[in-house]
Every structure is written in C-alpha cells, then in structure tokens.
Amino acid sequence: MSGNRISVRTTDNACFAWSVVAALYPTEKYTERESSYPHYTTVLNLTNIEFLMTLKDISKFERLNVINMYGIKNKQVVPLRLTDNKKEKHVNLLYLQDSHNDLDYFTWIKNLSRLVLADSWEKKTRNFSAIGKYNKKS
C-alpha cells in the first residue's frame, strides 16, 4: 500500500467518512480495514449528511468538521476545496474519479508532501476502484 494515502475498504457507501476517521484515528496495522477504526457514526458529526457523498455535499460536512479536499488534474495534485476553519486537527482527502465506470472515491492523504511529489499518477490511481467503490449519486 502506498505510504502517502490510506484507502479503507468499505462495505457501505461511506468511503468519505471512513477516510476522515482514518485521518483522525490513525493506526499502524491493518490501515485498510474498517475494523481498525471506530465506526464513523460514533466519532463524526454527521447531522443532515447523507451518503453517497459528492463534492457538492462537502460544504455541509465542512461546517461541522475541518477538511481540505484535493483532486488530480493532468496527473498533478490540485486543491479542490481548502477550509477557512483553523483547528488543531484537520483532514486532507483525495477525491478520485473514474469516468469509465462513473465512480467517485475519497481517500485520506496521509502525507500530502509525498503525494504531491509522486510522479506516476496513472499507475497509482488506475486500481483505486477496486477498493471501496460506489456509483455516483444521480
């Protein structure tokens, strides 16, 4: 597994929430397993938040929690949303899209500096859909 991001294998449509929990409650072992973390419903404020999460829904979540959202454009990491809220702990997430399969996916960025320096995006993101994928909201 890549050392610069953590993808929790989900059994539900809440990969966004699991990515946030992975950032807030990091673990050294079995980082890809849901069972390594507290359940997101017990540790996150999800008032009026529905899953499947989309980019436009992030602002609702951000009002309750601190989050920065990044994406990939032309094989480079780019900011999609940067929070104005300043707190001791914030979360950086990577938003991935697979237009061939109409899928979205969120993953925790464990090390933003290393991720930005990574040079082979196509190879690293090609297989993301095998981990916790779900269909886009219509």
- Does residue 127 sit in helix, strand or coil? coil
Q: Kindly report the average pLDDT of the chain as a whole number.
A: 77
Region 48-68: mean pLDDT is 80
In order of 30, 90, 91, 94, 120, the CA distances from 23 in angstroms are 14, 8, 6, 12, 24
CA dihedral over 105, 94, 115, 40, signed as positive or negative = negative
56 pLDDT tier (thresholds 50, 70, 90):
confident
Domain ranges of the chain: 5-129
CA dihedral over 137, 62, 45, 113, signed as positive or negative = positive
Residue 3: per-residue pLDDT: 66
